Amino acid sequence: MMKALKTTDPQIYQLVKKEEKRQKYGLEMIPSENYTSEAVMTVMGSVLTNKYSEGYPRKRYYGGNEFIDQVESLAQERAKKLFGVPHANVQPYSGSPANFAVYVGVCEPGDTIMGLNLTDGGHLTHGWKSSITSQFYKSVPYHVKADGRVDMDEVRQLAKKHKPKLIWAGATCYPFKYEYKEYAEIADSVGAYFAADIAHVAGLIVAGVHPSPAKYAHIITSTTHKTLRGPRGGIIMVTQKGLDKDPELGNKIDIALFPGMQGGPHDHQTGAIAVALGEALRPSFKRYGQQVVNNSYALAEALKENGFKLVGNGSENHLSLIDLTPIFGPGGGYFVEYALGVAGITVNKQTIPQEPSSPYFPSGLRIGSPALTTRGMKEAHMKRIAKWARSAVGEIEDYRMPMDKEGRNEYLKEFKIKTAKNKTLIKISKEIENFCSKFPVPGIK
């Protein structure tokens, strides 16, 4: 396939090869990113991409779907088996459409919904002010406490006061396990639907190293990449509890997604999801999930030993959230993301609880272990990586984020120019390149 691409479009071919090199010789530590298997990538680039399949298995609007029906049915059955649910929809293009379909399936415009505040680690689609979810629905956000954990007392009080139609559990940056049982008790007390967005921890749930919401939630949504190591896609699942609340809930969700929100599914994506779910059913995946958590814990401890402050003082899953205000004051995440990138460590800037700056110039850094674990790295390697990170940060710790917008752009421009030429960061990048050469990336020769 790459040979055909090289001949047909050498420009794209060269960019793909450059991205391959970046992934192969750098440390991918964004917690929401991972490496798929070669088998998953093979299906993504297969003839399944040629087919149009509006509808659901055995209920299509196009002919020629006899094999696509089998592919999608396999994906559905594997999802149901992995998560212990009676209903699964594997057609969402990604996690956000999956979440939107939940709204359409159980809410009316103007209904009250609750989710974790974005700057506290929540997701855009759980009612953040710039998301369409807060424009169509009345969003009542809840928050985390000083230690970074969800304030369940606040969730209970807000639910009692506002009587929401839907309550979300889940986040984009939360280093703890979720208290699904308590969420369920709160939702049940006010008659709300309880939806658990497990996008980040789905693979950990499958591996048995994170609690499952299947007994407690009515609806579960997830992406299929991140800790599941599949292609970029989404799943919506309805639990037995959900069907007990409304026997038509599965049908309502399906109709909300198609024809309510999407057209034809991406069959190559569905096939790749099926492959990834099949891989997750193997005993080796449980070992992988356990190592993800082991590595994340080791990384958190090593970061603290190197002087970093962590929200919650550690990690209970696959990620840590670094509070950089003791070093940089407000806005330090911007500096550190760029400097670590120069050094060969890919991370992402992130807001912290009670963020003193802004989502674009946040004061924290999100860092995780899933992709490194896929490559075969272990606890001892996390200690070495933490030392590299601290050395890199030491090269830029005199920078401070200008609060006035007029001088900020020029200041950040100068910062990037100088940092890109920093000899210590370049030296670290060479060390990391040599280090990474010992750990293969699936599908990259």
CA distance 26 to 36: 16
Asked if 28 is an active-site residue, the reply is no
Residue with tokens 């993800």: 292
The active-site residue out of 223, 239, 373, 419 is: 223
Is 303 labelled a binding residue? Answer: no
| Tokens read off for 91 | 């057609």
CA distance 356 to 257: 38
Domains and CATH numbers, the chain: 43-280 (3.40.640.10), 289-436 (3.90.1150.10)
Helix, strand, or coil here: 368? Answer: strand
Asked if 69 is an active-site residue, the reply is no
C-alpha distances (whole Å) from 229 to each of 144, 199, 201, 252 are 29, 11, 11, 29
Is 5 labelled a binding residue? Answer: no
Asked if 52 is an active-site residue, the reply is yes
CA distance 256 to 332: 41
Asked if 232 is an active-site residue, the reply is yes
pLDDT at 369: 98
C-alpha distances (whole Å) from 400 to each of 299, 327, 331, 397 are 26, 9, 8, 8
The active-site residue out of 20, 33, 54, 111 is: 54
Amino acid at 154: E
Asked if 223 is an active-site residue, the reply is yes
Is 123 labelled a binding residue? Answer: yes
- Phi-psi label, residue 283: left if phi above 0, alpha if psi -120 to 50, beta otherwise: alpha
pLDDT at 445: 82
pLDDT at 407: 86
The active-site residue out of 51, 149, 177, 232 is: 232
**φ and ψ at residue 112, rounded to 5 degrees:** -85, 135
CA distance 151 to 143: 6
Q: Which residues contact 361 (CB under 8 A, 6 or more apart)?
A: 330, 331, 333, 334, 349, 401
Closest CA to 341 of 443, 432, 441: 432
Closest CA to 294 of 377, 227, 361: 377
Neighbours of 283 (CB within 10 A): 7
Amino acid at 271: G
Mean pLDDT, the chain cut into blocks of 10 residues (445 residues total) = 91 97 98 97 97 97 98 98 98 98 98 96 94 96 95 98 98 97 98 98 98 98 97 98 98 98 97 98 98 98 98 97 97 98 98 93 97 98 98 97 88 97 98 98 90
Asked if 197 is an active-site residue, the reply is yes
Is 118 labelled a binding residue? Answer: yes
> Helices 10-25 and 423-436: crossing angle, nearest 10°?
90
The active-site residue out of 133, 142, 178, 226 is: 226
The active-site residue out of 20, 24, 51, 52 is: 52
